[in-house]
Amino acid sequence: MAKNLVELQSQMQSDILKRESGVLKRFSVPKHTTAEKRFAVYQDAYQIRLVEVLSEDYEVTWKYLGDEQFYQLAVEYIKTHPSDQTNMRWFGRHFPEFLTQSPLSSDHPVLTEIASIEKALDDAFDAADGDTATMEDLAAIPPEVISDLTFKLHPTCRLLRQKTNALDIYMALVNEQTPDPLESFDETKYTLVWRSDMMCQYRALDAEEGMLVDLMLEGKDFALMCEMAATMQDADSAASRVAGHITNWLQSQMISQLIFAK
Amino acid sequence: MVEKPPFLGFGLGLRPQHYPEILDADKELPIDWFEIISENYMVEGGRPLQMLDRIKERYPVVMHGVSMSIASTAPLNMEYLARLKKLADHANPKWISDHLCWTGVHGVNLHDLLPIPYTEEALNHVAGRISKVQDFLGRCIAIENVSSYIEFKESEMDEWTFVSEIAKRADCWLLLDVNNVFVSGQNHQFDDGNFIEQIPVERVVQFHLAGHSEGEDVLIDTHDQPVCDEVFELYEKALKRFGPVSTMIERDDNIPPLAELLDELNRARQIASGILSPEQLKTAA
Ligand SMILES: [Fe+2]
């Protein structure tokens, strides 16, 4: 094994991560400069590059927080979550979670929720293509099995269950408007993120539709979905409301597969 | 030695900013081929792979990676290599390249192209790993010289000797980044023309032309500027030595409209037509 190289790389990496200088004595540089200055190019680049990735992936969170606070949080994140990915695309995947824990942000639940919307959109962007079920597939289903019908959500779909007006704040910031003041809710606010025709989409779901998507994710069938819808709003029209949602989901490419016993 | 792949002509690094301009162009663009950043397409699905499919229908493609970490002392990342191979099966590239550098150890990725000392120990280590990667991928790969800001006291040979020897021992191709030769030459005060003269002609399958920026007493390989005059001059020397070698402009940051890159590419073409015969400039396509 390349013993000398093993030791050199360990020390060089550690000195880049911690901005230390133990490895400098092993460098040779021209007389007009110093090893310290030259090594600083690598040390600076590491942090600059990762802050840049975070500020691209969490651009709206950054807008909400302002430069200084976002930078502080980014630097803290970089320290606690060194990249272990071959693609920087996934470096920031723990950032929403990190925001719930960092003392700098843990009392602002809206931050995590805004960041989660951004992460869901990024994830939907290059998630697996998967199949897309259509209205024709639905029409082909024998009426006698409709009540047992279950649904496989498209792999690009992400259902966010939030407790603040993060989505409104997110949309205001994206549209360069002043966001409303922060609000917190007891009930769950559902946001659905997905991709259709290669474009990332998002929309708020009302309580009933949010519940239905939750049921769909749990693999519950059409009959149960209707039963639950009947407890939320007018019972007589429950089945037609659920059918309406299913039509909409199919048309917006949210469903991969309609599953029923043959 | 595996036979060199064909001369592809003059290409560009494919960047998402240019997808519409490339795919919706109503007349043929003067671009012979594209280089993709492998990692950007090692994803599950969505637009990146859809765009790649459309590009590869119309242009030859080569794959260029930044995370192989071939000179690292960490074990080879087999999961990465498996995904790279899967992408290659999909993209059908003319060749695959990565850098003569390491990007991290102990499971960390510093996302940088870090240099190594030019020692016999490193030679053995790196050449052995390139051979393993080539066996795994079932194909010859091209290794690129990087820009560096420091050198190591323990080095036992010059960079050009090290690079040439690696290619020979691993039986791999070389991607000669002309800007990196220039940047390292300035940073370490060596003669960049001599570097070019010392690299074996039969190994070089691709040239990179790129821009750099100036730090304090140092040139930094930032790929955010146009290719400078000195690099074009060095490119001319490289063409004289290596003959027709697939050439491309590598721009990764501060990305201008496609037309500006085409102007730079055209300058490369013009330099080449002053040195190479029309026969030599014929591409395989
Ligand atoms: Fe390069």
Residue pLDDT tens, chain B, 285 long: 788 999 999 999 999 999 999 999 888 899 999 999 999 999 999 999 999 999 999 999 999 999 999 999 999 999 999 999 999 999 999 999 999 999 999 999 999 999 999 999 999 999 999 999 999 999 999 999 999 999 999 999 999 999 999 999 999 999 999 999 999 999 999 999 999 999 999 999 999 999 999 999 999 999 999 999 999 999 999 999 999 999 999 999 999 999 999 999 999 999 999 999 999 999 875
User: What percentage of residues in chain B have a pLDDT greater than 90?
Assistant: 96
Q: Which residue of B has its CA nearest to A90?
A: B43
Q: Which residues of B touch A25 (CB under 8 A)?
A: 153
Q: Answer whether residue A118 is part of any domain.
A: yes
Instruction: With a cut of 80, say whether residue A262 has pLDDT above it.
Output: no
- Spell out a b/e string for A72-102, using b for 16 or more CB atoms within 10 Å of the CB, else e: ebbeebbeebbbebbbbbbbbeebbebbbeb
Q: Answer whether residue A79 is part of any domain.
A: no
Both tokens of residue B92? 């059908």
Tell me how far apart the alpha carbons of residues A89 and B42 are, in angstroms, rounded to a whole number: 10
Across the strands, what pairs with B97? Answer: B64, B142
Judge: A128–B44 Cβ closer than 8 Å, yes or no: yes
For A196, left (φ over 0), alpha (ψ -120 to 50), or beta? beta
Q: Answer whether residue A55 is part of any domain.
A: no
Q: What is the DSSP string of B5-38?
A: PPP--EEEE--GGGHHHHHS-SS--S--EEEEEG
| Dihedral angle sign, alpha carbons of residues A87, A90, A92, A94 | negative
Measure the CA angle with vertex A71, ends A68 and A74; round to 5°: 150
Q: Which residues of chain B from 204 to 263 reach within 8 Å of chain A, CB to CB?
A: 215-218, 220
* Dihedral angle of Cα A171, A177, A180, A185, to the nearest 10 degrees: 0
Question: What is the tens place of the pLDDT at every residue in A108-158?
Answer: 889 999 999 999 999 999 999 999 999 999 999 999 999 999 999 999 999
What average pLDDT does the segment A30-47 reach? 97
Q: Answer whether residue A222 is part of any domain.
A: yes
Q: Is B80 on the interface with A (CB under 8 A)?
A: yes
Q: Which of B107, B119, B217 sits opposite A37 (nearest CB)?
A: B217
Ligand 1 centre to CA of A71 (Å) is: 30
Q: Which of B44, B107, B218 sits opposite A41 (nearest CB)?
A: B218
Tell me how far apart the alpha carbons of residues B190 and B186 are, in angstroms, rounded to a whole number: 7
- Spell out a b/e string for B27-36, using b for 16 or more CB atoms within 10 Å of the CB, else e: eeeebbbbbb
Question: H/E/C letters for each residue in chain A?
Answer: CCHHHHHHHHHHHHHHHHCCCHHHHHEECCCCCCHHHHHHHHHHHHHHHHHHHHHHHCHHHHHHHCHHHHHHHHHHHHHHCCCCCCCHHHHHHHHHHHHHHCCCCCCCHHHHHHHHHHHHHHHHHCCCCCCCCCHHHHHCCCHHHHHHCEEEECCCCEEEEEEECHHHHHHHHHCCCCCCCCCEEEEEEEEEEEEECCEEEEEEECHHHHHHHHHHHCCCCHHHHHHHHHHHCCCCCHHHHHHHHHHHHHHCCCEEEEECCC
Ligand 1 centre to CA of B147 (Å) is: 9
Question: What is the tens place of the pLDDT at every residue in A155-174?
Answer: 999 999 999 999 999 999 99
Give the per-residue pLDDT at B153.
98
Which single residue is written with the structure tokens 């070019």? B196
Give the per-residue pLDDT at A261.
79
Shortest distance, CA B157 to any CA of chain A (angstroms): 14
CB B75 within 8 A of CB B82: no
- pTM reported for the whole predicted model: 0.95
Judge: A130–B45 Cβ closer than 8 Å, yes or no: yes
Ligand 1 centre to CA of A40 (Å) is: 21
Q: Answer whether residue A31 is part of any domain.
A: no
Mean pLDDT of chain A: 95
Both tokens of residue B89? 């099966």
Q: What is the tally of structural domains in chain A? A: 1
Give the per-residue pLDDT at B285.
59
Tell me how far apart the alpha carbons of residues B272 and B199 are, in angstroms, rounded to a whole number: 19
Ligand 1 centre to CA of B146 (Å) is: 7
Residue A245's CATH number:
3.90.930.50
Quick one: how far is CA B114 from the chain centroid? 15
For A11, left (φ over 0), alpha (ψ -120 to 50), or beta? alpha
Question: What residue ranges do the domains of chain B occupy?
Answer: 10-252+267-273
Both tokens of residue A58? 């969490």
* Residue B70: closest CA among B91, B108, B97, B88: B97
What average pLDDT does the segment A90-115 reach? 92
Q: Answer whether residue A43 is part of any domain.
A: no
Q: Which residue of A has its CA nearest to B114?
A: A42
Judge: B109–A83 Cβ closer than 8 Å, yes or no: yes
Give the per-residue pLDDT at B273.
97
Q: Answer whether residue A138 is part of any domain.
A: yes
Q: Into which CATH architecture does domain B10-252+267-273 fall? A: Alpha-Beta Barrel (3.20)
Q: Which residue of A has its CA nearest to B218?
A: A38
Q: Which residues of B touch A86 (CB under 8 A)?
A: 39, 42, 67, 77, 80, 109
Give the per-residue pLDDT at B2.
80
Ligand 1 centre to CA of B180 (Å) is: 7
User: What percentage of residues in chain A have a pLDDT greater than 90?
Assistant: 95
Tell me how far apart the alpha carbons of residues B199 and B219 are, in angstroms, rounded to a whole number: 23
Strands A158-164 and A184-196: antiparallel
Judge: A45–B112 Cβ closer than 8 Å, yes or no: yes
